Amino acid sequence: MKQLKAIIVDDEELARKNLEFLLKDFCPQVEVVHLANSANAARQYLKDHSVDVMFLDIEMPNGSGFDLLESLPDIDFKIIFITAYHEYALKAFKYSAVDYILKPIDPEELEKAVNKASKSGSADSKEKIDLLIENMGKKGESLNKIALPSMEGLQFVNLEEIIYCESEDNYTQFFLTNGKKIMVSKTIKHFEELLDENKFFRVHRSNIINLEYIDRYVKGEGGYVVMKQGARVPVSRRRKEAFLQLFQHQQ
C-alpha cells in the first residue's frame, strides 16, 4: 500500500487533532507530517517540504483554504477538503470533481477518500481548483461547467455543449455539440442527480437529454425524441408523462 505524507490545515486545534487521530486509527498508510493552523502556516511549510495529500478546511480566519491554493505556484499533491458546507456547495464540489469530507468526519468516508487518493497518481490540477472556486462563488445560481474524469484525464465541459448522455454499464458516454464523445467512469444515476433538472431530463434508464437540443418528439408506444444533431433517443413509458409535461412547458 502506497504511503502518503499528509498535511492537515485547519484553524481549530481540536479539529486538527481529531483528524490526526482518525487517520492514525483508520488510515495507517497516511503519515501526518505537519499540522497547520492557518493558510499562511501551511504556505510557509510547503515552501520547503513536499506532501502527497492535503486535508484542507475551507473557512478559516486570515485566509481561506481557497486563498491558500490560489497563492501556491504549483499544486503537486492531492487535496481532500474538510467542510461543513451543505447543499449548493456540495454540488459545486461534485461539478468540479473534487474530493471532500463533511464535518463531523465519518471514518468510513475518510477511508474512502484516502483510498481514492492512494490509487490516483496525479495531483489535483489548478484548473480543477479554479473551477471549484468559480462554482462556489455562484451560491445557488445554476452552474455552467462540469469536470468529467475520462480515460484521457479530466475534461472541462460547458453544460450547453452536452447534447445527451448514454449509460454503458457502470460508465456514461457524453455526446457533445462538436461531435466529440467522452466516456466517464461514473454511472448515469450519478449524473441524473447532478445535472440541472430544468435543462436535462432522464427520458430512459439509459439516457439523459439536454432539453435545449430536442428537435421533435415522435409519439407512439415506443416513443422517442430526435435531437437537433439527428440522434434518436428512446423515451420509456414510465417517464413519458413527466417528460411530455416538462417538454411542453419548455415550448
pLDDT tens track of the chain, all 251 residues?
Answer: 678 999 999 999 999 999 999 999 999 999 999 999 999 999 999 999 999 999 999 888 888 899 999 999 888 999 999 988 766 678 888 889 889 999 899 999 999 999 988 887 677 778 888 899 888 887 667 788 999 988 888 899 999 999 999 999 889 999 999 999 999 989 999 999 888 777 899 999 999 999 999 999 998 767 899 999 899 999 998 888 888 887 776 65
For position 142, what pLDDT does the model report?
77
Q: What number of CA atoms fall less than 13 Å from residue 202's CA on the CB side? A: 17
CA dist., res. 4 & res. 109, Å (int): 17
CA dist., res. 230 & res. 37, Å (int): 56
For position 249, what pLDDT does the model report?
65
DSSP classification of residue 97: T
Q: Does residue 182 contact residue 155 with C-beta atoms inside 8 Å?
A: yes
For position 225, what pLDDT does the model report?
94
CA dist., res. 161 & res. 145, Å (int): 9
Burial zone of 222 (CB within 10 Å; 0-12 exposed, 13-18 middle, 19+ buried): exposed
Q: Does residue 56 contact residue 124 with C-beta atoms inside 8 Å?
A: no
Is pTM beyond 0.85 here?
no
For position 176, what pLDDT does the model report?
97
For position 226, what pLDDT does the model report?
95
Upstream peptide bond of 104 is cis (omega within 30 degrees of 0)? yes
For position 250, what pLDDT does the model report?
63
Q: Which amino acid is at 184?
A: V
